[in-house]
Structure 1
Amino acid sequence: MSRRTLVAGIGNVFLGDDGFGVETVRRLSAPGAAAARLPDGVETADIGVRGVHLAYQLLDGYDTLVLVDATARGGAPGTLYLIEAGADGPVAPQTPVLDGHQMSPDAVLALLDTLCAGTGAAPPRRIWVVGCEPGSLDEGIGLSPPVAAAVDEAVRMVLDLVHHQDEETPQDEPGVAAN
């Protein structure tokens, strides 16, 4: 059986930099250079704010999940982070698990564990988050200049991840904080 990877763009395009994940996956999957460099078995999905949809899609069986999302960790706007989810233990959701309009990635992963237990499916073996420090989450369409400038580098990070996903740790990227 071949390995499958899902790269999912998360975020609300109507809240400024929260649309980072959606824009990054859009560029990654657009016809052209980036999409042509995706290895076989790698799928992209614009999940947006449909967290329940992501949880159910993952029941189709993926070895690796790469979430791309705005991730506030205190850095300068546009700072990229590479985080291995679950490295510090089980997921503890910050929002109600069944609130489909406000499901954060941690709530999705908690719901996934419940769904897998009920269906016999297996959750992804590895889960990565490619995050970007937002500058503004105010209402409005469009990324702030520092976050927009980080999208191409995030595409490169995702490509590096999916091409080197069997390595213990991915290649360190200049200017990238890893957890």
Structure 2
Amino acid sequence: MSGRVLVAGIGNVFLGDDGFGVEVVNRIDASALPSRVDVVDYGIRGVHLAYELLNGRHDTLIMVDAVPIEGPPGTLAVLEVDDADAVVAGPVPVNGHGMHPQAVLELLRNLGGGVRRVLIVGCRPAVIDEGMGLSAPVAAAVDDAVRLVADLARQADVECADA
């Protein structure tokens, strides 16, 4: 491992609030983050994210996505994925045009890869229907999510450097 941090925005911008992760990473000022932090919009390319992680360059993965968490739409949460949570028995169905965080991690494990630490910054969606643009409560959470993700990336960078 190289002590790098990958911030990955995932989601489908054509499904309303599912585009949350993409919107957040596109608003992050990557130049204001440490040089060992990579910020990438993966959108619906979950398979590409899994293959990127196979190269072993990243110790920490921070995925940003719309997730079904408790609370009203626009609620933010940081979830840490336990390595045991990412283990799957049997084949993982691969959808080249969109995979949720758990499916990406399961594919990565089945390919023989792994990441030391995985965080998911999630936002409770209001609308996951065909149509572009975030709902009002999710759009209102984007700026807070940008700050949260940047803070987590800086903290993870320090932790990776100390490890």
TM-score normalised per structure 2 = 0.87
The answer on whether the counterparts of 1:92 and 1:106 sit within 8 Å (CA) in structure 2 is no
Q: How does 1:65-144 map to 2 (within 5 A)?
A: 65-86=61-82, 89-92=85-88, 96-115=92-111, 117=112, 122-144=113-135
The answer on whether the counterparts of 2:30 and 2:38 sit within 8 Å (CA) in structure 1 is no
Aligned residues: 156
Q: What's the CA shift string for 1:123-175, capped at 9, x where partnerless?
A: 211000000000111111000111111111111111111111229xxxxxxxx
Give the 3-state SS of the residue equivalent to 1:152 in structure 2. Answer: helix
Letter in 1 for 2:31: A
How far apart are 1:86 and its partner, in Å? 1.9
Long gaps (5+) in structure 2: none
Change (3 A) 1:88 1:114: closer
**Percent sequence identity over matched residues?**
56
Letter in 1 for 2:43: G
The answer on whether the counterparts of 2:92 and 2:107 sit within 8 Å (CA) in structure 1 is no
The answer on whether the counterparts of 1:80 and 1:154 sit within 8 Å (CA) in structure 2 is yes
Long gaps (5+) in structure 1: 29-33, 168-179
TM-score normalised per structure 1 = 0.80
1-side partners of 2:83 and 2:55: how far apart?
Answer: 23
2-side partners of 1:90 and 1:138: how far apart?
Answer: 28
The answer on whether the counterparts of 2:7 and 2:62 sit within 8 Å (CA) in structure 1 is yes
The answer on whether the counterparts of 2:2 and 2:59 sit within 8 Å (CA) in structure 1 is no
1-side partners of 2:64 and 2:87: how far apart?
Answer: 17
